Structure 1
Amino acid sequence: MASLATHLSACLFFVPIGIRRLLCSSSLYLKNPSLFKSKPWYFSNPKWKNLDLYILSIALPIASFCQIFFFLSISGHPTYRFSFFQHFASLCLFWVLTIFFVLYENLDHFLFNESFIYIYAAIAFLVEYSVIGVGITGLGSVVYELLAQLTLVCAGSCLVLSIKPTAFFAEFLLSTGLVFKGTWLLQAGLCLYTDAFVLKGCNKMVLLPASSNADVHCELEEDGMRGVALVNLLFVVHAIGVVIAGFVVFGLLSSFRNLRFGEASGPLLAELESESILMRPSHEHEME
């Protein structure tokens, strides 16, 4: 959480994943809502179309190790070091999650069932929740508290999907939640770590003297109160924008079949058709 670059890279992780999940899950749901079943990762054929997953499996460990080694080289404060170690552990958990996705595609699904992967994802989000905003006080803590709430939404959605993978609402909430996390991370980086977009009357985030905490310094108390109100307003605007965009995407996919993802081929369609064939005799028996 230490710079605009960190927030931007996190945004580039979360937003594409959320958009991909939203497109693929909505396409699968619209094909046959009664047979919808959420997937930990929506694979496509040929395999090169899953390039984003393999990029994540390489980028996440690089990001986590770069973060911990860069911090240890510039800071000697024990508390601040521990905070960075927590962020390092959180990144590693999400890296292991991408490994589970890769193994789930290539190995027997009984070894890594979907419920286990969703529960693990929920635990990873909860660990991330526990480290968000550590060492941040004042106006910055308000920004990160809102980010923590989004993380809880993602964790709750994963828990629901681990119990009921047919819950499309939870899948929609998870997908839009990931997009929202990404856009809010970018907003936080701009508001807290840049001079150009810093809130009026305040300075960008700095480490407090003789302390392990960081804060956004505002000249007047009124500036701080106005900053909190503006942060809440920006959060609401982000929420409205992401929700509207999600419904627009769902509406477009519903109206234009050629825009849908994962329907022409691939393991998702094959599994959906096999389930449809298995269910067909029971329906025919009921009609007789």
Structure 2
Amino acid sequence: MLEGHQVFGFGFLVVGLWHLFNNVKLHALCSKSFTSTLWFPTTKSRYLELYFVMASSTIFISLELFISPARHQPFDPDGTIPTNHLHNFEHSSMAMSFLVYAFFALVLDAKCSKSQHELTHLLGALAFAQEYILIHFHSKNHIGPENQYHYFLQLLILVSIITTLMGIGYPKSFLVSFVRSVNIVFLGVWLIVTGILLYTPGFQSKGCVTHLKEYKVTCSDDKARHRAVALVNIQFSWLLIGITIFAMSFYLVLIRIYGENVEYVSLSKEEYYLEDESNTDIECQKKSIEGKV
């Protein structure tokens, strides 16, 4: 069964890889004038990434509130929220935050707002902060392996919050953008791993079992619980090593592909980019003028 963590994690993984590719590519092509953004346009559609975030968030919300519940709606007959569905509302609220971020990021770009960069990063940081708060103060009292999975998840979200906020003050820092991109990839992978190994029956540590109705994991005794927690620590450590190797290899490959001709970039090409940026500013001004007419 497809679990909510896996859907949410897949979204983060795709966006993280897309950001990593674009940040490294931009750094390779123009390291001196590198400026990162929180989202990147594509050749086919300028807002494809934002559409993807909105679509993924909508699917996740639908999965949590209407598909997963037994009655395909999360309310009791009297209209109240039952205790066993509180976590569905918490999870869907996280997705709503990213839906709001993507929507207003699109609007800010379309309106050519002067504070677009700062406000977009602030919206992104708020979305991550919402995710952190709802996980930290979760309605479920996570214990054992559940607690450990969510503890590491909170660490990854904190890194996302910090690096996103740092992007406001350090927009030209490749390191900040690189760390944020890699961390989003890690966040996506960790959510997928959590969904599979924690909430998919048959993948739990020996001596532990998942109760889907109660949406919790229990272990037979303290020995089994301590073993399960230790395995989570090992999983995180191995994933950290693996993603570090992947990120550095990815960086070196892209630098080799896109950075070979950097030394031969002519002044005319640099002027072209400057002229293109000027034209973009003019177009933005035209849009704003047309919008006022």
Displacement of 1:98 after TM fit?
Answer: 1.1
Displacement of 1:87 after TM fit?
Answer: 2.4
Matching residue of 2:254: 253
Is residue 109 of structure 1 aligned with residue 113 of structure 2?
yes
Is residue 16 of structure 1 aligned with residue 14 of structure 2?
yes
Alignment equivalent of 2:95, drawn from 91, 107, 114: 91
Displacement of 1:153 after TM fit?
Answer: 0.6
Matching residue of 2:127: 124
Matching residue of 2:48: 51
Unaligned runs of 5+ in 1: 209-213, 261-268, 279-288
Q: How many residues align?
A: 261
Q: Give the Cα–Cα distance (whole angstroms) in 1 for the partners of residues 271 and 150 of structure 2.
A: 40
Matching residue of 1:229: 230
Displacement of 1:241 after TM fit?
Answer: 1.0
Displacement of 1:120 after TM fit?
Answer: 1.5
Is residue 161 of structure 1 aligned with residue 167 of structure 2?
yes
Q: Deviations over 1:62-84 (max 9, x none)?
A: 43244234548356564444443
Is residue 6 of structure 1 aligned with residue 11 of structure 2?
no
Contact kept? 2:40, 2:49, Cα under 8 Å: no
Matches within 5 A, 1:116-155: 116-132=119-135, 134=138, 135-138=140-143, 139-155=145-161
Letter of the 1:204 partner, please give it. Answer: T
Contact kept? 1:83, 1:131, Cα under 8 Å: no
Is residue 204 of structure 1 aligned with residue 210 of structure 2?
yes
Displacement of 1:45 after TM fit?
Answer: 2.6
More off after superposition, 247-256 vs 78-87: 78-87
TM-score using structure 2 length: 0.79
Matching residue of 2:29: 31
Matching residue of 1:273: 273
Q: Give the Cα–Cα distance (whole angstroms) in 1 for the partners of residues 277 and 216 of structure 2.
A: 60
Contact kept? 1:26, 1:250, Cα under 8 Å: yes
Matching residue of 1:64: 61
What fraction of aligned residue pairs are identical, expressed as a percent? 25
